[in-house]
């Protein structure tokens, strides 16, 4: 029932994800002024950035170098400099501002022109879930997991609230908005997800041959699996489909 808990995590958060899903607007760097933040009387102390789907929730911590005032701003916040600006993007290296007349970027570590994206080196796609893990009631050898009935009961009746917070999740959709599965992110090191061999970015595609292509379908599937003693889960990682098998003893 580990997967039951995982998909429940997804279902409880998918509505929130849909509400906040936005895309940052794209502009050519040729139409944008670029400065070190210090040139505008600011210091970028730090920031919190999220995945692309949640860029509108990125936060930047700023300091006014003249008054020493420190304050936090999110995407969409107003910022007064030589005129009134709106923060339209927060990156790990810069913040992007838009006013009525101009658009500009303020860089954290001095002026740095926008660099071309590095070419991603082709890497070997894994063909299995590797490694192993063992504790009382739980044992995994690569993609094969065995748990006891007592372990499953403890997860569902005692540990469920904690399990629901051990990873973030979002629906993976195609260009037409069709759900292709559910992706996991921010998996905690000692969580049940990590013990199962799952990694950030893994997409749960199907359980026992049933595709997870909608929230309604996932709920129906979970109800049918409550008493199941075996599951076959297909996980997509790096373009490869990896099997994860679960047996309850």
Q: What residues form DSSP beta bridges with 182? A: 171, 204
Note the pLDDT tens digit of each residue in 167-210.
887 878 888 878 888 888 889 989 999 999 998 888 889 888 88
Fold of 32-107: SH3 type barrels. (2.30.30)
Parallel, antiparallel, or unpaired for β 103-107 and 33-36?
A: parallel
pLDDT of residue 166: 87
Q: What average pLDDT does this structure show over 32-61?
A: 79
**Is 141 in a helix, a strand, or coil?**
strand
Note the pLDDT tens digit of each residue in 43-55.
888 877 766 655 6
Note the pLDDT tens digit of each residue in 112-165.
444 445 555 655 656 678 899 999 999 999 999 999 999 988 887 888 778 878
Q: Is the pLDDT of residue 14 over 60?
A: no
Q: Is the pLDDT of residue 222 over 80?
A: no
pLDDT of residue 183: 86
What is the sign, positive or negative, of the torsion defined by CA atoms of 152, 156, 158, 159? positive
Note the pLDDT tens digit of each residue in 94-119.
899 998 888 999 988 754 444 445 55
CATH code assigned to 2-19+126-248: 2.30.42.10
The CA distances from residue 64 to 37, 38, 102, 152, in Å, are 10, 9, 21, 53
Which tokens is 152 given? 């499953």
Rounded to an integer, what distance in angstroms lies between the CA atom of residue 153 and that of residue 172?
A: 30
What's the pTM? 0.50
Q: What average pLDDT does this structure show over 214-227?
A: 66
Which tokens is 118 given? 């590095």
pLDDT of residue 52: 60
The CA distances from residue 54 to 15, 51, 57, 80, 118, in Å, are 13, 6, 6, 25, 23
Q: Is the pLDDT of residue 25 over 70?
A: no
- Report which of 227, 237, 231, 242 is spatially closest to residue 146, judged by C-alpha positions: 231
pLDDT of residue 110: 59
- Domain ranges in the chain are 2-19+126-248, 32-107
Q: What average pLDDT does this structure show over 211-234?
A: 74
Which tokens is 190 given? 């000692």
pLDDT of residue 126: 63
Note the pLDDT tens digit of each residue in 75-87.
889 998 888 999 9
């Amino acid at each position: 029932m580990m997967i039951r808990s995982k998909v429940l995590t997804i279902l409880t958060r998918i509505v929130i994800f849909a509400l906040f899903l936005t895309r940052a607007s794209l502009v050519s760097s040729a139409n944008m002024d670029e400065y070190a933040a210090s040139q505008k009387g600011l210091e970028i102390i730090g920031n919190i950035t999220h995945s692309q789907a949640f860029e509108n929730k990125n936060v930047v911590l700023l300091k006014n170098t003249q008054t020493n005032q420190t304050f936090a701003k999110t995407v969409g916040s107003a910022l007064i400099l030589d005129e009134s600006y709106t923060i339209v993007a927060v990156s790990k290296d810069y913040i992007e501002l838009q006013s009525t007349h101009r658009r500009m970027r303020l860089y954290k570590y001095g002026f740095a022109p926008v660099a071309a994206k590095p070419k991603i080196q082709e890497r070997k796609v894994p063909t299995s879930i590797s490694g192993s893990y063992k504790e009382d009631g739980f044992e995994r050898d690569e993609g094969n997991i065995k748990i006891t009935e007592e372990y499953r009961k403890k997860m569902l009746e005692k540990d469920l609230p904690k399990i629901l917070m051990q990873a973030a999740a979002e629906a993976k959709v195609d260009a037409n908005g069709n759900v292709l599965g559910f992706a996991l992110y921010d998996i905690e090191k000692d969580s049940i997800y990590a013990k199962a061999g799952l990694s950030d970015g893994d997409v749960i595609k199907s359980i026992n041959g049933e595709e997870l292509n909608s929230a309604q379908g996932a709920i129906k599937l979970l109800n049918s699996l409550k008493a199941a003693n075996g599951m076959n889960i297909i996980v997509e990682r790096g373009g490869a489909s990896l099997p994860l098998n679960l047996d309850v003893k």
